[in-house]
Amino acid sequence: MAQAPAPALMLRDGDEEELRRLVRSSTARAGLVQRARIVLLASEGVGNGVSLGPRGLLEHVGTWTVDESTYTPVSQHHSETIFTIGNGYLGSRGTFEEGHPEERRTTFLHGVFDSVAGAIAEIANVPDWTAVQVLLDGDQFRMDSGSVEDYRRTLDLRTGELTRSLRWVAPSGSEARLDFRRFASLADEHLAVVTVRVTPEQDSVVEIRVPVFSSAWNLSDETNRIPYTEHLANLVGDDVVGAHVATVDRRYEVALAARVTAVGPAAASELWELPGALARTVRFQAEAGRTVGVDKVAAYETSRDGGTGHDVAAAALARARAAAGVDALAGANTARWAEDWAECDVEIDGDDDAQLAVRFNIFHLLVVGPRNDDQVNIGAKTLSGSGYHGHAFWDSEIFMLPLFTHTLPGVARHPLDYRWHRLPQARAKAASNGLEGAQFPWESADTGEEVTPTWLPRWDDPSALRRVWTGDIEIHISADIAYGAMQYWRATGDDDWFAAHGAELVLDTAKYYAARAEPDADGTFHYRDVIGPDEYHEHVDDNAFTNAMARWNIRTAFDVLDWLQEHNPARAADLADALDLTPDRLGIWREVVDGIVVDIQPDGRIPQFRGFFDLIDVDLDEYEPRNKSMHEVLGLEGASEHQAIKQPDVLMMTLLLENEFTEEQKRANYDYYTPRTDHVYGSSLGPSMQAIIAARAGLAGDAFEHFTRAALADLRDVRGNANDGIHGASCGGVWQAVVFGFGGLKIEDDGSWSTHPALPTHWDRLAFNFTLRGERHRVQVTR
């Protein structure tokens, strides 16, 4: 991603091995190694990406747009992911308006989940607002029909608008230019807009159909697609068409109404109404060179917004009819985006590729952050794909929320409120395991109950099943949620929210960890049979991350109680009564917190879990080249016997709890665990955190390498799995890598802050904003 003359970024056939040699050479100059790594990633990336080499399908024409100039069907699912747009209420993949074979067309609405055929709850696909069909002299336009010329698709990160322009030669020989434009309004989250313009090169009959289909299919099972929605009614009124549906199991009601306006002299307009399908068709007798088209203004309403039955349908119809024209809607949307970018933008001089990649990652969090709903969280794949079924993990609090906490705190509060509202379910899970307190589920959907699948097919033998243990024993997530609540409170100073919601999250999770700790005769306490963030190793004892976060959680609970008793004694008394925080119980907590084991060796190294240093050591370079994870290479059982790790488990602990460890300890663990981490094919969560740690340790080359891996995770599809949706945690991690790593921002518990910059060698300037306790700060780092 380093800025360089064009020839330096060109990749010729046969150059890959030389680039690998440069990447691995310890004697190569840092700048050259950095550039070599970037070009190598450009050559090996799967699918589209920023144009860092001639094999890239996306062109780099600026720092605010993602541009595609080649229609490449083999990469369509990756393109659908990176061209996803949304507005914090809905998210729609970047499928073509007219449809395409094997497309994964989805529109997801925050909080609308369903269970199909008894399966686990997953984000439900709902009727699509983007569909428009164009016929030119009887030939239906499709990208895989006729001839496509002068093609360009552009995502404008500043406005959230997705446009497509092309010249089409129909099978019959008729020719026309087609222009598509769509956006989901950030100014009014219930509204979305599609426009189509057709300019024929000869007198032609242009027919534009605007369909609404009641059926929407689940896409998580490619071989057994099942409709998620049941048709209740068609919505018809003047120039409005739509559908009222309910999800098949949980009966969430969704109404989609679309107002269709002809642009140009329409020769005819008619309505097609069929069971489960409705369409308005506009026909033009178009003159050569004269542009005609339609504007489609769509409105969504759900039973989650209030009301059921007729009320839902009527609300959608009313929204569509009352909506302003496209120009006014676009203006309001652009203005609203400008407000968010004024808070969130990161500016980089000297590296246009990094600049675009960082904005791309920020954009994909901005389109999913819930602006007005405190009953939803952010799924691991945002609202951009069916990966992980739309479930929320620790990704939300640890990786994604910091961007919002420090720039748009009103957005950060909503996912935390989602957790607070679901404390009853977390308590029920703890109780089902014979424990007290709040044990949050590893995977969470709408209700807050555990939705981690119990069994999944083995990747080495899909006919066999493997047991999934994360929902049972990956228990660090409760502390991660408490950590997110404390980070939000310390950054915002929102005492009212913390007293009402945040304090209870911290106290009830501490209660769980005190109950879950197992005592030994020597006075120590342990967390046995757990899984840490490194999921290559299951059923381990004294995972350092889990132990340290549990200890932090309980210690912090004492601080919270002290604060409440001083600032809000009534709330302190209420919580002490509700959670049974008696002096005897708190005495037990003190014994537990003083006895939790976090083993630090004399040389500063911390075993990832008890016995980790006794496992078979591994040199990952010996397994190159490879295109799959070490979990797959070594097998389920083999991975547990080796020191290859999915993500930097111990290093993340030293980052989150950085004041508990010395700089020498941090460096010793970085040096030990970094070469044993499966950076590319392990977890997408790791590289950004590695970048922060490396930057703070003064390892500029390492920091930039890890940053690049995270920044290109989706643009370049580094892991080959972006088809399933955006890596939301990596997006948030990229922002953290720039701000906390290269920018060196450190915010202390008392509200003080400092910067210790560590710019990549080829960056000339870095600038960003952050909000601390209601005050907006501007940081600029230059050479």
Q: How far apart are the first and last CA of the chain?
A: 19
Buried b (16+ CB within 10 A) or exposed e, 348-371: bebbbbbbbbbbbbbbbbbbbbbb
User: Taking the CA of residue 376 as centre, how many other CA atoms within 13 Å lie in the half-sphere pointing to its CB?
Assistant: 25
Which structure tokens are listed for 523?
Answer: 């006075």
Nearest to 620 by CA among 608, 609, 634: 634
Establish whether 103 is a catalytic residue.
no
Angle, CA 211 vertex, CA 205 and CA 212 arms, to 5°: 170
- Please name the residue that has the structure tokens 């240093």: 613
Instruction: Please pick, among 68, 97, 301, 535, the residue that the annotation labels catalytic.
Output: 535
Which structure tokens are listed for 338?
Answer: 């400008």
Q: How far apart are CA 30 and CA 2, in angstroms?
A: 12
Three-state secondary-structure class, residue 144: coil
Q: How far apart are CA 731 and CA 704, in angstroms?
A: 16
Three-state secondary-structure class, residue 523: coil
Nearest to 365 by CA among 698, 62, 87, 670: 87
What are 66's strand-pairing partners? 155
Nearest to 255 by CA among 281, 275, 234, 280: 234
Angle, CA 275 vertex, CA 270 and CA 281 arms, to 5°: 20
Nearest to 695 by CA among 780, 605, 746, 760: 760
CA 481 to chain centre: 17
Q: How far apart are CA 23 and CA 621, in angstroms?
A: 12
Catalytic residues: 535
